[in-house]
Amino acid sequence: MTSIDQAFKLAMRRLAASVNIVTMAGPQGPLGMAATAVCSLSTQPASLLVCVNTSASMHADLTATEAFRIAILHQDQQAIAGVFADPDRKAERFAGPHWRFDAAGIPLLENAQASILCKRDATFAYGTHSIIVGRVDSIEMRDDVSPLAWCDGRFATVHPVHP
């Protein structure tokens, strides 16, 4: 018999989600992590939420920061997602020419599907996670739409369904 916790984990493997990179300017430099628990919240005001495990190394900084950025990854950015998902590769995260930094030092991934700068508006604790509400401050977008997804424990792509 499967416990509800085990069943829930198996059920969530069937929920496809966009792969995102959450970035911010940390006390000792740029910080970032891969995240799939990101979604829109409201259009008035434009806002989104990101859920982060309290055990994540970036948790304390993210729940205290004034601003953060969400990069929604394009399917051609799988290698970048891999670097941010691997705790042993933290030193590589902001290396390379595909990163630039705004005036506040918040990293911006060039050519992401979309890059959304948010001001932290609220933080709520729930279970093992914190829910961070970000009010959208600015957005940059790539023209083509082909997001990188995560489903059943692996990267996936999204393709339109034609009737």
The whole-number pLDDT of residue 147 equals: 95
Q: What is the pTM of this model?
A: 0.94
Q: Which residues contact 25 (CB under 8 A, 6 or more apart)?
A: 31, 65, 67, 101, 104, 105, 106, 107
Query: What tens digit of pLDDT does each residue of 80-101 get?
Result: 999 999 999 999 999 988 999 9
Here the tokens at position 140 are: 């940059």
- Do residues 52 and 33 touch, judged by C-beta distance below 8 A? yes
Identify the band that residue 72 occupies on the pLDDT scale cut at 50, 70 and 90. Answer: very high
Domain 17-151 in this protein, CATH class: mainly beta
On average, the pLDDT of the chain sits at 95
Going from N- to C-terminal start, the domains of the chain cover 17-151
- Do residues 26 and 62 touch, judged by C-beta distance below 8 A? no
Residue 1 has pLDDT above 70, yes or no: no
How long a stretch of residues is the chain?
A: 163
Taking the C-alpha atoms of residue 97 and residue 147, their distance in angstroms, rounded to an integer, is 21
- The alpha carbons of the chain give a radius of gyration, in whole angstroms, of 16
The whole-number pLDDT of residue 65 equals: 96
